Structure formats: C-alpha cells, structure tokens
C-alpha cells in the first residue's frame, strides 16, 4: 500500500511554490497535500512581472491500466476543501469504472454539439435557406414569396432553436391565414417544412419535422378544398371597355401630365400586370420591331418574354418624348407607380382594380372564340396548361409572336372603338 502523504494545513498550502533545478532555473513542482490519495498542488514558475506563478490542483490516479493526471481546478479559485471533495468524487467514479477525463471530454463534446444547434429559425432562414433556394429562381417575384413566407413565421418561431419548434407553433402560424389567405398559407406551410427539413439534414434537429402535411397537419387543419374559396379581382365587362377607355383619357388634361394614365393604358393593351408597367425600363422597348423584351426573372416569368406591341401602344410610347432612358413610368414625385394603378378605375367610376383587366381580356377572348385558348393564355403569360406550354416550347419565333400580335390588335380595336 502506497505511503499516505500528511494532510497539509491551509497555511502550509499557501506557501507551496515552484522549485529551482540543479542549473538554478525555476521549474514547476508538484506537492502532495494529503487528505485524498494522489491529490497534488502543481506550482509553476512566475511569468512576466508576476511574483508568483499559477498553481493547479491535479489528481494522480490509475484508471484501468493507465496512469492519469486529472485536473481539479486552479488554486486559490478552487479552495483546498473543495479540491479535496472533487478529488474524492473522482476517486469514487474511478472505482465504478468511469474515466473522469473521458467523461469530461464527452460533456464538452455534448456542449459543443448543443451550441452548434443554437441557431435560431429566423437567422437560418434568412442567411442559409433563402439564399440557397433563391439560386433556383430567376424571378424576383418568387424570391419575394420566400421572404413573405418567412415573415409569417418569424413572429412565432423566429427566435427559437429548431429542436424547440413544435406542431403547435406551426398551427399558430397557419391557422390565422388558413381560410382567409389560403394561397399564402399553403406557401408558408411548404416553406416551413422545407426549412426545417434542411435543418434536420444538417443536424440541427433530431425530432420529426412538425410541419409535415401527411399524417400530421392534415389531421389538424381543415381540408383546403372545402374551406378555401377563390376571391376574384373586381373587373369590368368587355362591353364596358370602350366607355372606360374614353373616361381614362379625359384624365389626361393637360396632356402628358400623368404617367399613371399612360401606364394603365399600356397595361390594358398588353394584358400586363401592374408590376410590369410600374417597373418597365426603356431599354426593354424596341419601337422599330414593336416589341417589349422582358428580361428573365425581372417580372413573374422565369424566362425572357417578348410582348408584341400594338399600334396604339407604340404611339403611347412615342408620345412620351425623346428622353427614353431608365424607368418608363413614374409617379408625380418621380417614384415607382404603385397603388395609383390599383385604384385608378374606381377613381373614374368603374368597380374594378388593375389586375381585374386581365380577367376582362380573358372573358372577351372567350366571347370572341376567334383564337385558341393556348394563344389567349400566351398573351396572358400563362403556361400552366400543358398544351400552352407545349406550344410555347415548340415555337417561340416570329409565327407565334405574330399570332399573339394579331389577337392583341383585335382586342385593341375593341377596347378603343368597341368593334
């Protein structure tokens, strides 16, 4: 049995220090302090301007077949009494077959793993998922939809770790908009599922995905087909178009005083969206070829899109003067047009909004029955139908462009003259 070191008093321990080797150099020294077998105070030489070097508690013990030095803390931060308690606990663990050093390393690894998971939902969505997903989209509209979905989630789970997100959190996000803003709700649920799924793959969550639809949220939320009713944009009838056109141009007094009138007219005759005329740039317009080449990704389409310009649209652009650089249309304050276009029809007595004029064109095309559904859909930039998509992919050249131009010219005659 090894000789037990005498238990030193606190005064004696305070006096312990490093030693001087045979060459007169200060070196570290370890002093047995007693009280617990193998407990030492290791004293280091002073460094810099310090008068005394650092001192650390170590426990020398055999763990299995290995001789180990187990750190117990620094002195005097860890008092002598506490150091002896910790040394006794370590001795007890060793008797039970536990390696205190391995246990400490495992605890440190777990802490590091937990800290690596300490990434909040909002930060991950904004800095990781959305930039990653945006690479798949050319359309700025699609990227804005991702941010819109994120904005629905952040107030509820933005500051939560992925491991803490529950089904109840998902319901808190989705239920307020499930029946009133259903398309946004569907997009948000898919966004939630995708963000969490990616986080799971990256090791940020071990539990199942709480935003899954099948056998999960589908059980807790009403059937989308039964609770969602499509709310159409208010529109005017095709028969009202000539009267609307005349009322619109009565606002142009003095002449060329309001860009919103010209923008609205171009929007109606090109079957465009208000965002297109609001953000349109002169470099996209070719008045010689009578086309508007919309860049891929700038508007709703992910592909470059060529819009044929009718004679009236060409004259409207020409009437805007020789300065053709930058944004085509602007508000009186020089800013991008917005709600002015949405509410313009109601300001002159027509119960409609800007987007509703696309529905009016669709109704006119259905009544006319002169052009195929596919050509009508192409004029509206609708490629959802497989037959329309096939036509677009088969022939994107002059033939298809001119067929659309013919249809838009016929529509222009109806809008401006009622025939």
pLDDT digits (tens, 9 = 90+) for 166-198: 999 999 999 999 988 888 999 999 999 999 999
The answer to whether residue 2 sits within a structural domain is no
Residues 192 and 279 in one domain: no
Residues 157 and 222 in one domain: yes
Please say if the pLDDT value at position 386 is more than 50: no
302 or 134, greater pLDDT: 134
The answer to whether residue 112 sits within a structural domain is yes
Domains: count for the chain: 3
Domain ranges, residue 375 = 238-417
For the chain, the straight-line distance linking the first and the last C-alpha, in angstroms and rounded, comes to 115
End residue of a domain, out of 167, 201, 227: 227
Instruction: Encode pLDDT of 8-59 as tens digits.
Output: 998 999 999 999 999 999 999 999 999 898 999 999 999 888 888 999 999 9
- Position 286 scores a pLDDT of 92
Residue 210's contacts (CB-CB under 8 Å, 6 or more residues apart) are: 165, 166, 167, 169, 170, 196, 216
Residues 244 and 368 in one domain: yes
The answer to whether residue 376 sits within a structural domain is yes
The secondary structure of residue 36, as a DSSP letter, is S
Compute the chain's Rg from CA coordinates: 38
Residues 191 and 284 in one domain: no
The CA angle 366-369-374, to the nearest 5 degrees, is 75
- Tally of CB atoms within 10 A around 173: 23
369 or 267, greater pLDDT: 267
- Tally of CB atoms within 10 A around 62: 10
CATH number of residue 295's parent domain: 1.10.443
Q: Report the side by side order of strands in the sheet with 29-32.
A: 29-32, 39-43, 55-63, 66-75
Residues 31 and 132 in one domain: no
In angstroms, the CA 44 to CA 49 distance is 14
The answer to whether residue 132 sits within a structural domain is yes
Please say if the pLDDT value at position 65 is more than 70: yes
In angstroms, the CA 69 to CA 92 distance is 16
Q: Where are the alpha helices (DSSP H) in 310-395?
A: 311-318, 339-347, 356-368, 373-379, 386-394
Residues 264 and 377 in one domain: yes
CATH number of residue 24's parent domain: 3.30.160.390
Please say if the pLDDT value at position 109 is more than 70: no
CATH number of residue 144's parent domain: 1.10.150.130
The secondary structure of residue 317, as a DSSP letter, is H
The answer to whether residue 257 sits within a structural domain is yes
Task: Count H helices and E strands in the chain, helices first.
Answer: 19, 9
Residues 110 and 248 in one domain: no
Is residue 277 within 8 Å of 328, Cβ to Cβ?
yes
Instruction: Encode pLDDT of 197-233 as tens digits.
Output: 999 988 888 899 999 999 999 999 998 777 765 555 6
Please say if the pLDDT value at position 398 is more than 60: no
Q: CA dihedral in degrees (357, 358, 364, 366; nearest 10)?
A: -150
Per-residue pLDDT averaged across 103-129, rounded?
Answer: 77
Please say if the pLDDT value at position 399 is more than 50: yes
Range with lowest mean pLDDT among 160-169, 320-329, 378-387: 378-387
pLDDT band at 388 (very low <50, low <70, confident <90, very high): very low
The answer to whether residue 39 sits within a structural domain is yes
Tokens of 112: 């590091």
End residue of a domain, out of 116, 150, 173: 116
Residues 143 and 204 in one domain: yes
Instruction: Encode pLDDT of 254-285 as tens digits.
Output: 887 788 899 999 999 999 988 888 888 999 99
Residue 101's contacts (CB-CB under 8 Å, 6 or more residues apart) are: 63, 68, 70
CA distances from 291 to 12, 230, 285, 317, 410 (A): 96, 34, 6, 11, 17
Residues 221 and 248 in one domain: no
End residue of a domain, out of 202, 227, 252: 227
Residues 92 and 199 in one domain: no
Residues 127 and 261 in one domain: no
The answer to whether residue 1 sits within a structural domain is no
pLDDT band at 117 (very low <50, low <70, confident <90, very high): low
The answer to whether residue 53 sits within a structural domain is yes
Q: In a 3-state reduction of DSSP, which class is residue 62?
A: strand
Q: What is the mean pLDDT of the chain?
A: 85
**E strands, 138-177, in order:** none
CA distances from 329 to 16, 298, 415 (A): 85, 16, 22
Tokens of 166: 């529950």
Residues 277 and 400 in one domain: yes
Please say if the pLDDT value at position 356 is more than 70: yes
């Amino acid at each position: 049995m090894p000789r037990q070191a005498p238990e030193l008093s606190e005064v004696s321990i305070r006096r312990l220090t490093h030693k001087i080797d045979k060459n007169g150099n200060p070196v570290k020294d370890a002093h047995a302090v007693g009280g617990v077998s193998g407990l030492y105070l290791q004293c280091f030489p002073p460094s810099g301007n310090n008068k005394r070097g650092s001192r650390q508690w170590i426990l020398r013990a055999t763990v299995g077949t290995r001789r180990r030095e187990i750190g117990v803390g620094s002195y005097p931060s860890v008092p002598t009494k506490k150091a002896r308690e910790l040394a006794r606990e370590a001795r007890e663990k060793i008797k039970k077959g536990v390696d205190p050093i391995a246990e400490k390393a495992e605890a440190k690894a777990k802490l590091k793993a937990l800290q690596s998971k300490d990434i909040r939902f909002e930060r991950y969505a904004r800095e990781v998922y959305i930039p990653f997903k945006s690479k798949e989209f050319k359309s700025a509209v699609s990227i804005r939809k991702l941010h819109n979905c994120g904005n629905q989630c952040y107030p509820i789970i933005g500051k939560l770790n992925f491991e803490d997100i529950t089904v109840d959190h998902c319901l808190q996000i989705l239920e307020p908009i499930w029946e009133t803003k259903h398309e946004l709700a569907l997009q948000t649920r898919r966004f939630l599922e995708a963000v969490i799924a990616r986080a799971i793959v990256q090791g940020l969550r071990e539990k199942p995905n709480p935003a899954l639809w099948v056998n999960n949220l589908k059980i807790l939320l009403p059937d989308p087909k039964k609770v969602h009713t499509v709310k159409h944009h208010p529109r005017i009838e095709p028969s009202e178009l000539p009267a609307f056109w005349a009322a619109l141009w009565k606002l142009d007094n003095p002449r060329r005083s309001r860009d919103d009138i010209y923008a609205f007219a171009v929007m109606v005759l090109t079957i465009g969206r208000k965002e297109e005329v609001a953000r349109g740039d002169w470099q996209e317009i070719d008045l010689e070829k009578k086309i508007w080449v919309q860049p891929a990704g700038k508007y709703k389409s992910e592909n470059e899109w060529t819009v044929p310009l009718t004679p009236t649209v060409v004259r409207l652009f020409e009437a805007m003067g020789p300065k053709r650089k930058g944004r085509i249309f602007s508000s009186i304050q020089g800013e991008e047009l917005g709600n002015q276009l949405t509410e313009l029809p109601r300001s002159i007595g027509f119960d409609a909004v800007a987007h509703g004029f696309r529905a009016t064109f669709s109704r006119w095309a259905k009544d006319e029955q002169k052009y195929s559904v596919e050509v009508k859909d192409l004029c509206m930039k609708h490629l959802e139908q497989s037959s329309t998509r096939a036509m677009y992919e088969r022939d994107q050249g002059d033939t298809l462009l001119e067929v659309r131009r013919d249809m838009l010219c016929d529509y222009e005659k109806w809008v401006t003259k009622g025939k």
